Amino acid sequence: MTLLATTDDLRAACARFTAHDFVTVDTEFLRETTFWPQVCVIQIATDDEAVAIDALADGLDLTPFFDLMANEKVTKVFHAARQDLEIIWHLAKMIPSPLFDTQVAAMVCGFGDQASYGDLVQAICKVTVDKSSRFTDWSRRPLSEAQITYALADVTHLRDVYRNLVARLEKSGRAGWVKDEMGVLLSPSTYEQHPDNAWERLRGRARKPRDLAVLMEVAAWREREAQSRNVPRSRVLKDDALIDIVLAAPKDAEALAHLRSTPRGMEKSRGGVELLAAIERGLARDPKTLPRLERPRGGSNGGATVELLKVLLRQVSEKSGVAAKMIATVEELEAIAQDDRAKAPALSGWRREIFGARALELKHGRLALTMEKGKVIALEWQDAPGADSEAAAE
């Protein structure tokens, strides 16, 4: 087992890795007490070797690692890459490319919604991953042999998982589908934490335009405060307390103090002064400049259409072997029920090919759903029972 703790050793290892077509990568990090994740260990494997990088080692410069991540000749393979990529983006303002996420690929290859690494290793490699060190404190030093063994297992088995999924994708002709999905992961906007966008996490709890205006300002204040102090949002203000403040919109320290969910003494603190200023800015916003509040969709007919679309989605998922969650979300089904031209991923690209076009057919009565031997099947209108007689009647 190799634990790299010096820049020279890291540089030498990364130089060796550039000779390979792909490397598998994983990270161990902590974020329970910080806003930004703290990377503690980075694991990399090739066909020849596997190493763990002590990211907390004194004097260690991670530049060779970032250079490897930017090398366009080497594919970087992650499982459930988003959090790992967020760490790399925060540290180096770059995103590894080319990129392959085995969790995304597994969803296309029939392994269900968000298959875990352990499940994939079990299914493909016939190996049970030891999770005994899963909740260990990765910031404590020295690292134990058990910790290093656990960490390396997350990249060694990943090599075989990657090869297996690539073969499946090539056989099914779906490699392009996974490549399309990498677009979101490769976009910097996925990892940028803009305070002005923080309200979107809680947008469904704004009841009216005034609430939304205050929410936008208060959420932005909390985000800036959490980032500057590098603490979790909840350490500044919990979600429920934030919403209570938004709905009450107190205009002075006394009113703020009277809210039961407000942390004791906050009204007298610097944060309390800034929070009241944020509320004031929200109340002063012109309602005409606010984003539109989402209203409950359609009536009973719209709801019935969504329920039918859910059945079709499940049928398509089972038939194609692609995870339903990857094909369409409930929000997309609701949008399609309301508008044939909805801006939904399910109505474009490969998703339209296997589901979106059929969803529109079902919505307009040109597709029927029925049961056969305990399974839902879809029938084109001309195949549906009674279609001929009804057509003649018309």
Alpha carbon distance 261, 273 (integer Å): 17
Helix (H) or strand (E) holding 231: none
Tell me, yes or no, if the two domains 195-289 and 300-393 fold the same way: yes
**The pLDDT value given to residue 389:** 40
DSSP per-residue codes, 23-50: EEEEEEEE-SS-SS-EEEEEEEE-SS-E
Average pLDDT over residues 129-144: 87
Look at 23-32, 93-102, 278-287, 301-310 and tell me which has the smallest mean pLDDT: 301-310
Alpha carbon distance 258, 330 (integer Å): 39
Average pLDDT over residues 168-177: 95
**The pLDDT value given to residue 133:** 75
**The pLDDT value given to residue 26:** 98
**The pLDDT value given to residue 382:** 53
Look at 17-21, 68-72, 125-129, 294-298 and tell me which has the smallest mean pLDDT: 294-298
Helix (H) or strand (E) holding 393: helix 387-393
**The pLDDT value given to residue 295:** 60
The residue ranges of every structural domain in the chain are 2-190, 195-289, 300-393
The highest-level CATH class for domain 195-289 is mainly alpha
**The pLDDT value given to residue 372:** 78
Alpha carbon distance 188, 197 (integer Å): 15
What pTM was estimated for this model as a whole? 0.84
pLDDT above 80: residue 391: no
Indicate the pairing of strand 75-78 with strand 99-101: parallel
Average pLDDT over residues 222-244: 96
3-state helix, strand, coil in the chain (%, to 5): 55, 10, 30
Average pLDDT over residues 219-226: 98
CB 279 within 8 A of CB 250: yes
Nearest residue to 278 (alpha-carbon basis) of 347, 199, 200: 199
Indicate the pairing of strand 2-4 with strand 50-54: parallel
**The pLDDT value given to residue 301:** 54
Average pLDDT over residues 245-258: 95
Q: How does residue 387 score in pLDDT terms, banded at 50, 70 and 90?
A: very low
The strand pairing partners of 54, in sequence order, are: 41
Task: State what percent of residues in the chain have pLDDT above 90.
Answer: 81
Q: What is the pLDDT of residues 65-82, one digit of tens each?
A: 999 999 999 999 999 999
**The pLDDT value given to residue 293:** 77
Mean pLDDT (the chain) is 91
**The pLDDT value given to residue 292:** 83
Q: How far are the Cα atoms of 248, 250, 258 from residue 262, in angstroms, in the given order?
A: 11, 11, 8
pLDDT above 90: residue 14: yes
Residue 126 in 3-state DSSP? Answer: coil
What type of residue sits at position 353?
Answer: E
Which of 100-109, 361-370, 379-388: highest mean pLDDT? 100-109
| Helix 239-248 with 270-284: angle, nearest 10 deg | 50
Q: What is the pLDDT of residues 79-88, one digit of tens each?
A: 999 999 999 9
**The pLDDT value given to residue 300:** 46
pLDDT above 60: residue 1: no
Q: How does residue 172 score in pLDDT terms, banded at 50, 70 and 90?
A: very high
Alpha carbon distance 166, 175 (integer Å): 7
For residues 298 and 27, which has the higher predicted lDDT (pLDDT)? 27
Alpha carbon distance 86, 150 (integer Å): 22
Among 3.40.50, 1.10.287, 1.10.3470, 1.10.150, name the CATH number for the domain at 300-393: 1.10.150
Q: What is the pLDDT of residues 312-358, one digit of tens each?
A: 999 999 999 999 999 999 999 999 999 999 999 999 999 999 999 99
Q: Helices (H) and strands (E) in the chain — how many of each?
A: 18, 8
**The pLDDT value given to residue 370:** 83
CB 195 within 8 A of CB 224: yes
Q: How far are the Cα atoms of 39, 156, 201 from residue 69, in angstroms, in the given order?
A: 16, 18, 30
Fold of domain 2-190:
Nucleotidyltransferase; domain 5 (3.30.420)
Look at 44-48, 133-137, 206-210, 275-279 and tell me which has the smallest mean pLDDT: 133-137
pLDDT above 80: residue 376: no
Neighbours of 368 (CB within 10 A): 17
